[in-house]
Structure 1
Amino acid sequence: MTEILSPVQLIQPKRFGDSRGWFTEVYSEPAFAKLGIDCRFVQDNHSLSVPKHTLRGLHFQTPPHGQDKLVRCIRGTIFDVAVDIRKGSPTYGQWVGAELSAENGYQLFIPIGFAHGFVTLEDNCEVTYKCSDTYAPANDGGIRWDDPTIDIDWLMPAGADPELSAKDAVQPLLASFDSPFSYDGRPLAPLA
């Protein structure tokens, strides 16, 4: 019997170090296929967030331009989050999150059907991510970062206000979202 892997996966690439520093393989199609990740990445994005507590999200693209994402932080530390928005999913509206940093080298794979967002936990964070489709403005969507039904713990101090884009400040709540994403039989599970 084949184990059904969670659709959102925390990837922990090995680092091989010596006196010069370290080397790591951040993406290998055959290695990722063994994890059940068989998408083809066609676009790489890179962002710089200068102030601590910059929050970007929760974002997704609707079909036919949905995006699988492979996210990593190459400078600083972020808290990266995925929210299940697949219609019919037993874990609809639930989230998982992980701390990604330049130091730990972890990556988060977020498949189509999940909203994605992150908050920076220090100043001057740089994030890169691979996408399985190019940016399509007509398919750009989002959910409120502070939706009370999702109730994400963004790891910010009590009373701290995040730095938001004008668009992210007014995204709709999950309750008013009619999801175009279908459940694929793999419920969201805690990150390993």
Structure 2
Amino acid sequence: MDFRRLKVAGAVEFRFPSFPDERGSFTSALMESHFIEAVGRRPFPIGQVSYTRSRRGVVRGIHYTATPPGCAKFVHCPAGRALDMVVDLRVGSPTWGVWDTVEFDPESPKAVYIPVGVGHAVLALEDDTIIAYLLSTEYVAENELSVSVFSPGIDLPIPAEPAPLRSVRDREAPSVDQALADGTLPEFTRCAALEEASAGP
């Protein structure tokens, strides 16, 4: 397994091998020793495992969790192709406002670790794309927040065609600047403290 630290502080892309044979293939998306090497701590205890299935052109995000409680994520793509995007929304972070991308495709399996407070968005590049999430906390609707993927100054690489398909929640989400003015973005030092607290024993 190989890894790359992304431009967003604390976020990591993992690259892992796939072992094909006449039956299909076998892949391990997460290994504790590699996570420790890349992140510097054990993986967080799992609060919830979820997945989405999306048609081509679906855009989900930019999503983040109110902090506290905050939520760390480990994301991978078992089927289909997607552009995964991480955006640093942590006020006071050395990489605040910075984003980076990872392309998920079946030929070179990857996963992304998303620290507490970092925003996440994903664009499905083909039909029936599945994104799997390991989450450090359970979903609580009132804690789940969103900012627009089209926020001025962020300039995520989302093509005009096909027309992005978004939920009502994501279409009505404020810009990053508006969320900053409203005081709803997470604070970096608080995120870091929650990150440490969520690490496995």
TM-score by length of 1: 0.84
Look up the match of 2:175: 173
- 1:30 maps to which residue? 33
Runs (5+) with no aligned partner, structure 2: 193-201
- Considering fraction of residues, name the structure with more helix: 2
Give the CA deviation at 1:63: 1.8
Given candidates 18, 43, 46, the residue that maps to 2:48 is: 43
State the identity %.
Answer: 29
Equivalent of 1:140, from 144, 147, 172? 144
User: Separation in 2 of the partners of 1:150 and 1:123?
Assistant: 26
Tell me the secondary structure at the aligned position of residue 35 of structure 1.
helix
- How far apart in 2 are the matches of 1:175 and 1:59? 15
Q: Cα offset for 1:19?
A: 4.2
The alpha carbon displacement at 1:170 in A equals 0.8
Q: Is there any run of 5+ residues in structure 1 with no aligned partner, and where?
A: 185-192
TM-score by length of 2: 0.81
| Matching of residues 57-72 of structure 1 within 5 Å | 57-72=61-76
Q: 1:86-125, aligned counterparts within 5 Å?
A: 86-125=90-129
The whole-number CA distance in structure 1 between the counterparts of 2:30 and 2:66 is 25
Aligned residue number for residue 15 of structure 2: 12
Q: Distance in 2 between matches of 1:109 and 1:8?
A: 5
- Alpha-carbon distance in 1 for matches of 2:106, 2:137: 25
Q: Say whether the 8 Å CA contact 1:65–1:136 is kept in structure 2.
A: no
Structure 1 position 175, deviation (Å)? 0.8
How far apart, in 1, do the equivalents of 2:98 and 2:115 lie?
Answer: 15
Q: Is the 8 A contact 1:71 1:128 kept in 2?
A: yes
Q: Is the 8 A contact 1:80 1:99 kept in 2?
A: yes
CA distance in 1, matches of 2:129, 2:139: 22
Q: In the alignment, is the contact (CA less than 8 A) between 1:70 and 1:109 conserved in 2? A: yes
Report the number of matched residues. Answer: 177
Residues 65 and 134 of structure 1 are in contact (CA less than 8 Å); yes or no, is this contact kept in structure 2? no
Aligned structure 1 segments of 4 or more residues deviating by more than 4 angstroms: none
Secondary structure, aligned partner of 1:118: strand
